Amino acid sequence: MSENPIEIVNLRKEYGRFTAVNDLNLTIKKNSFTGLLGPNGAGKSTTLKILTHLINATSGEAYLNGIDVTKDPKRALQDVGTVIETPEFYPYLTPRETFRYVGELIGMNREQISAETQSILEKVKMTEWQDKRLGTFSKGMRQRIALGQALLDDPRIIILDEPTSGLDPRGMAEIREVLKNLRNDSKDLTIVMSSHILPEVQDLCDRIAFINHGTLLMDDDISAFESTSGARNVIAKVDGLPTDDMISAIDSLDYVISAERLGNDISINIGSDASLRSRLYKDLAEMDMKVYSLTEEDSLEETYLNLIKESR
Ligand code: ADP
Ligand code: MG
């Protein structure tokens, strides 16, 4: 097929009359860390479950390293580590025993498993827990073990479905740190992670694929969304709700391109000239509008919200 580690072609999944994945086309670039971003129900898990052969597609193809997982799952998944949903491990096994169990399942020999176990335990920061039973672990610790077993046999592709979901803030931060280190330690590694949390994707990923209703809406480098050039809107938060009078007063300032209501805030377009910001600040103060915050709109967040809105 191609050089791309993952290639999804016209992938479709129907549940009765409901279409969860709607002729999805997506290419994952080699050595990227791609965030599959979309709101709940977008079809992320369904897509990743087909990709990892946990469920069958209704139609379409999904290639891993050029091999169609719908036709030859064993070979397609040979060089792929996965964490889909928090896996249930045996509570009476320790991390080391769990890795041995999983390693043998995927056809590794004992020497190879023990050789990798220490470094994986370090990577997922579980060394000091290696001989404790999983039954006593927090959800975050179990998730780090899940991540660890995905690293067995040193895969070149890692597929993670919402790896921080259901964790407390500390657990989330730990998983994110492990993922960051993974990225930094190996450039020859393609990671795909689904998430509904935009800041998480921004923090970790270099590529972003937005999906909603089972369809790809946008697919690009994160930097393409975050470019600082070009106009960004300024968001003014005022005490109480913005009135029409306020909005038209702002709109009539000569350097303001447009002003409009955005929820309970006012979104003001002043073009890309940064010096106009302080002028706007001063003018708003003089208009006595009780502005308590003036921030630049996050262009990626705006794109995300607009895409969700438009695809409703
Ligand atoms: P995400 O992971 O992006 O939150 P999912 O892939 O889990 O979304 O689900 C996509 C849509 O498919 C949702 O509307 C969900 O309710 C539906 N869905 C998922 N699994 C099933 C199933 N086994 N039977 C029926 N509908 C399902
Ligand atoms: Mg999901």
* pLDDT per residue as tens digits for the range 275-303: 888 888 889 888 888 888 888 777 777 77
Q: Is 192 exposed, middle or buried (0-12, 13-18, 19+ CB in 10 A)?
A: buried
Q: Is 42 near ligand 1, meaning CB less than 6 Å away?
A: yes
Q: For residue range 92-139, what is the model confidence (pLDDT) as tens digits?
A: 999 999 999 999 999 999 999 999 999 999 999 999 999 999 999 999
Instruction: Provide the pLDDT for residue 72.
Output: 96
Architecture of the structural domain at 231-310? 2-Layer Sandwich (3.30)
Q: For residue range 19-64, what is the model confidence (pLDDT) as tens digits?
A: 999 999 999 999 999 999 999 999 999 999 999 999 999 999 999 9
- Mutational test site, ligand 1, from 14, 15, 198, 307, max ligand atoms within 8 Å of CB: 15
Instruction: Provide the pLDDT for residue 231.
Output: 57
Residue nearest to ligand 1 atom 12, measured at CA: 20
Instruction: Provide the pLDDT for residue 227.
Output: 55
**Residue range 6-226 in CATH 3.40.50.300:** yes
Say if residue 223's pLDDT is above 90.
no
Domain with CATH 3.30.70.1560 in the chain: 231-310
Beginning with the edge strand found earlier in the chain, give each strand of the sheet holding 291-296 in spatial order: 258-262, 265-269, 233-238, 291-296
Instruction: Provide the pLDDT for residue 230.
Output: 54
Q: Is 44 near ligand 1, meaning CB less than 6 Å away?
A: yes
Say if residue 65's pLDDT is above 90.
yes
Instruction: Provide the pLDDT for residue 311.
Output: 77
Mean pLDDT (the chain, rounded): 91
Distance 20 CA to ligand 1 centre (A): 6
Residue nearest to ligand 1 atom 13, measured at CA: 41
Distance 33 CA to ligand 1 centre (A): 24
Average pLDDT over residues 160-176: 95
pLDDT over 90, % of the chain: 72
- Mutational test site, ligand 1, from 12, 37, 45, 215, max ligand atoms within 8 Å of CB: 45
Instruction: Provide the pLDDT for residue 271.
Output: 79
Instruction: Provide the pLDDT for residue 154.
Output: 96
Least confident span in 83-97, 126-140, 144-158: 83-97
Instruction: Provide the pLDDT for residue 187.
Output: 86
Q: Is 128 exposed, middle or buried (0-12, 13-18, 19+ CB in 10 A)?
A: exposed
Q: Quick one: which atom of ligand 1 is closest to the CA of 16? A: 25
Domain with CATH 3.40.50.300 in the chain: 6-226
Q: Quick one: which atom of ligand 1 is closest to the CA of 44? A: 3
pTM above 0.85? no
Instruction: Provide the pLDDT for residue 229.
Output: 45
Which ligand has the nearest atom to the CA of 49? 1
Beta pairing partners, 296: 234
